[in-house]
Amino acid sequence: MEQLRLDDQMTALSQAAGTSMLELVRELYPIMRSITGPGLRATVRRLSAVVPLNITEVPTGTRVFDWTVPDEWRIEEAYIENESGQRFADMRDCNLHVVNYSIPVEMTLTLSELRPHLHSVPEHPDWVPYRTSYYQRDWGFCLADRQLRSLPEGRYRVVIRSTLAPGSLTLAEYLHRGAIEDEILVFAHDCHPSLANDNLSGVAVAIHLAAFLRTRKTRYSYRFLFCPTTIGSLAWLAMNEANLGRIRHGLVLSLLGDSGPLQYKRSPTGDRPIDRAAWYVLHREFPGSQLREFAPWGYDERQFCSPGINLPVGRLTRTPNGEFDEYHTSADNPDLLSPTSLGEAWLACAKIFEALEADRCYVNLSPKGEPQLGRRGLYQAMGGYRDIAERQLAMLWMLNQSNGNTSVLNIAERSNMPIGLLADATLALEKADLLSPVQPVAKPVYKW
């Protein structure tokens, strides 16, 4: 059976991937994205150059569970002009200046009439905040608090050349086919405009994982989704509800480029294989990693883990949403990210996949006493390895614990051995007819 195994090239690969990911983030950063529209399409087109994506356009007005796909938003320009013709909060300088999904506006206002439409972050007077108004027709501008405070009384001309009209919502996905149809889902939201850690870091890590898996044979199939947050994951779930039973494990990725430690957020029950595999990898191999319990807040794990969908999906970030100062402001720019942080997050995901791929139950076919390994050539087979004793120990653990319902991950947790080593031992024992995999009993998906 094909199974993902990582080799000693992975550290070098992760460093190269880190550099490439940061380049991709810098390239995507200036694009004016939103939950619909041309910027979102340009983004998935660029991602398709890394790995070819399947694009689905979901028309405006489509009902997706309790939501409806909104009108498509397009924007040409947005700025405020004072009486002497001086422009500020110009979208061309920073696309966060215009409230995302603003309706078209062209009017002249007094400062006090304009003020309710202006947003800033007083604690960080030079940063421009990010605000959206997707589902409520409104308009506004975001600007540095220092600039907001310095505005003199007078009249201001406001220009927002945007359109809100029937169009579609763009979903993009890539399916890597493994030996079995069961899937591991990887989700990254791709709807934020010029914000780097919040969404572009997750997008870059996800597309680079897809590119890596294309070069490898795997047991599971992997589905990578790039969708606008909330409405995008809901639309994808609504359109694919009949096939959700194939998803065995899932990870939502975002906020992976800052210098904070990796943080894994558990699924609602906290005991799914993805929860255990992620924590097994993180606490062993990425010191300082943190674990957090599920809460129905954050990113699209809220949709995947809603009671009527109930998929085993966790989330990997570094510093979580809302817990770093730069979050949802112009200070969340590519300079906040490092290739090392991105590369390490990429490597952590690859190792979690490896653990999930190895995690099967086996039964010992010679359980009465220890089978004689030397007679089967298993000692000779181990001759070239430096960690001969460890490999032997891994075989003994597998033989001792493989009762048909103790999985490789259980054995890895109990023995505190690297799961890759146990996976190698398992393959050798399988070849020698000493272990046989147990077909997993398909658990019915609970229907709400």
Report the residue number, 173 or 198, with the smaller CB distance to Zn ion.
Answer: 198
Closest approach, Cβ 124 to Zn ion, in A, equals 17
Stretch that binds Zn ion, among 196-204, 366-374, 376-384, 435-443 (CB under 5 A): 196-204
Rank residues 203 and 358 by Cβ distance to Zn ion and give the closer one: 203
Stretch that binds Zn ion, among 86-94, 155-163, 193-201, 302-310 (CB under 5 A): 193-201
* Residue among 198 and 258 whose Cβ is closer to Zn ion: 198
Return the range that interacts with Zn ion (CB under 5 A); candidates 69-77, 101-109, 138-146, 198-206. Answer: 198-206
| x-or-dash string of contact with Zn ion, 70-99, rule CB under 5 A | ------------------------------
- Pair 267, 249: CB distance under 8 Å: no
Considering beta carbons, is residue 72 or 198 the nearer one to Zn ion? 198
Residue nearest to Zn ion (CB): 198
Enter the tokens of residue 125. Answer: 């007077």
According to DSSP, the β-strands at 221-227 and 183-189 are: parallel
- Give the C-alpha distances (Å, rounded to integers) separating 10 from 162, 191, 281, 293, 354: 46, 30, 15, 30, 12
Q: Tell me if 166 sits within 8 A of 60, measured CB to CB.
A: yes
Q: Estimate to the nearest angstrom the gap between the alpha carbon of 43 and the chain centroid.
A: 16
Reduce the DSSP state of residue 17 to 3 states and report it: helix
The CA-to-CA distance between both ends of the chain, in Å, stands at: 35
Shortest distance in whole angstroms from residue 410 CB to Zn ion: 37
CA distance 299 to 132: 16
CB of 425 to Zn ion, least distance (A): 43
Binding-residue total with Zn ion (CB under 5 A):
1
Window 336-365: contact mask with Zn ion (x via CB under 5 A): ------------------------------
Residue 377 C-beta: closest distance to Zn ion, Å = 56
Residue 300 lies near Zn ion (rule: CB under 5 A): no
User: Which of the stretches 169-177, 194-202, 214-222, 414-422 binds Zn ion when contact is defined by CB under 5 A?
Assistant: 194-202
List phi, psi (to 5°) of 388: -55, -40
Q: How many CA atoms lie within 13 A of 209 on its CB side?
A: 36
CB-wise, 79 or 130, nearer to Zn ion?
Answer: 130
Say if strands 263-265 and 290-292 run parallel, antiparallel, or are unpaired: parallel
Find the binder of Zn ion among 198, 301, 344, 357 (CB under 5 A).
198
Does an H or E element contain 78, and which? strand 72-81
Q: Which is nearer to Zn ion, 198 or 275 (CB)?
A: 198
**Least distance CB 327 / Zn ion (angstroms):** 7
φ/ψ of 204, rounded to 5, equals -65, -45
Can you state the angle between helices 38-48 and 10-28, rounded to 10 degrees? 150
**Bridging pattern class, strands 155-165 and 72-81:** antiparallel
Closer residue to Zn ion, CB minimum distance, 199 or 407: 199
240 Cβ contact list (under 8 Å, min separation 6): none
Q: Tell me which residues touch Zn ion (CB under 5 A).
A: 198
